[in-house]
Structure formats: structure tokens, C-alpha cells
Amino acid sequence: MPLIHIQLRAGKPDAYRQAIFDGLYRAMRETLGVPEGDQFMTMTEHEAANFRHGTAYGVARSADLVYIQITVFNTRTVEQKKALFRRIADLLGESPGIRPDDVFTTIYDAPKENWSVGRGLAQFA
């Protein structure tokens, strides 16, 4: 039940943005075993004046930087998270062609009882 929010600079074509959604979904299916149809993702585009990044940690980021925030159940292992990071960078490199240095991903762990996926119910508590 990952929930993903993607942020990038405005101006990319629809196909580029859709390739990001598709790559993230595929990476989650392959590394986290999320079920088919488990796609809960949003994307926000920012004008250049509202999108900042630096070169900290020895990473040469460009204007094509994509921030990816993933919230998951707190049951994922470190190995699964590492595999997800790697697979995301690989798939987004293939399509739409984002350099690995421009893929900035964070994972937030949330206890299952903190989720309601509809109807006002705590389905996983």
C-alpha cells in the first residue's frame, strides 16, 4: 500500500511524466511485491524559481532532478528498501531517461494502524 508523491520542475511532456509513474509502479511490484492495481501516486510540478537543489553528498544533480517520497507500511526490510532505490534509479534511467544522480528518493515508514484507504475504516489495524 505505498503512497507516492513525485516532485519535479515544470515543463516535461505527458509521456515523460507517465514514464515516471510506470517506472515507480514496476519497481514497487518487483521489489516490494505490491499487488496489481496498487497505484496511489501524485505528481507536483514546480516552476524553476520554486525548485531548489544542491550538490551535497557528492551527487551532481541537474535541473532534471526528481524528488520521490514513498510512504509504506513499517514492515519493509532494509534490503527491500535498498532494492527499491536501485530499481527505481535503473527503471527511470531506461525511461524516461533520468540520470541516477537526478533520482532523489525517500521512504517513510508508517504503522499499519495509521492508514485508512477509504470509508473511514482502519483496514489494516
Name residue, grid cell 551535497: 56
* CA–CA dist 120, 87 (Å, integer): 34
Q: Quick check: is 111 catalytic?
A: no
Q: Which of 2, 13, 35, 96 is catalytic?
A: 2
- Are residues 3 and 108 in contact, defined by beta-carbon separation less than 8 angstroms? no
For the annotated catalytic residues, the residue numbers are 2
